[in-house]
Amino acid sequence: MPPEETRPDSETPRARSAAAPRARRPYRHSRPVFDLTLRIQSEYARRLLRDREFRPAMHALYGIEVILHLVSDDTEAERVEALIHARLEGLADELQREIARLQVLLTDQGLERTRPRYTHPLDVTIHVASPAMALYANLIQELDRLSVGLDTLWLSGLLAGKERLAVAKRWRQRIGGAGQEFIGLHRRAYAAAERQGQRDAVEAAAREVLSMPEEEGDDPAEAPDTSPEERT
């Protein structure tokens, strides 16, 4: 008997599977990122870093940059970016001047190399994906430097506790307030992108936004709103 002809529809499941087109994976840009590792020691800087506003602020700073280049021309995008950088650099300049004044006091008292030991320092790695993110992270690091100097003077009996807390709290609020401004600006930019039909493009880019990873075993919701010193 002649062999049966093989019909086209009698392919094996393996052959059909091999012939099926592969699902196309979405393209992911390879973005440059700095891994910035910080050791934050003082309570006010530590608390600001663990605030629920920190991660949204870092996302906002990167997201604003992404959205601006989707919905604005280059001139407008550069204008807004320049305003953000001026805001961050202005805060940094003021903070560094305050640190310099504090350093003079420490030097006059022979304390330029004296620093306290902190019981619960916080080590974090921040994935910096834009220059503005680096500037914001630097503000928190500078706040820690200021707070360490304040604590040194206070523990040495050279600064009143009330003044120490007032300075640290003021700078925490100023840096946190800037973060809130960026979050608000990001919301407005997102709304503009949505009105222009760019919502899908913005959300695709937002999935690649990088910031400080969650720390294991450290829930920021458990942090108290005020320290014992503030309640006294």
Question: 41-76: b or e for each residue (b if 16 or more CB lie within 10 Å)?
Answer: bbbbbbbbbbbebbbbbbbbbbbbbbbbeebbeeee
- Reduced to 3 states (helix: H, G, I; strand: E, B; else coil), residue 36 is strand
Q: How far apart are CA 215 and CA 223, in angstroms?
A: 14
**Mean pLDDT by 10-residue block, N- to C-terminus, for the chain (232 residues)?**
53 55 66 86 86 80 80 79 94 97 95 93 87 93 96 96 95 93 87 74 59 43 50 47
Q: How far apart are CA 47 and CA 121, in angstroms?
A: 11
Residue 214: per-residue pLDDT:
45
Category of 222 on φ-ψ map: left (φ > 0), alpha (ψ -120 to 50) or beta: alpha
Residue 87: per-residue pLDDT:
96
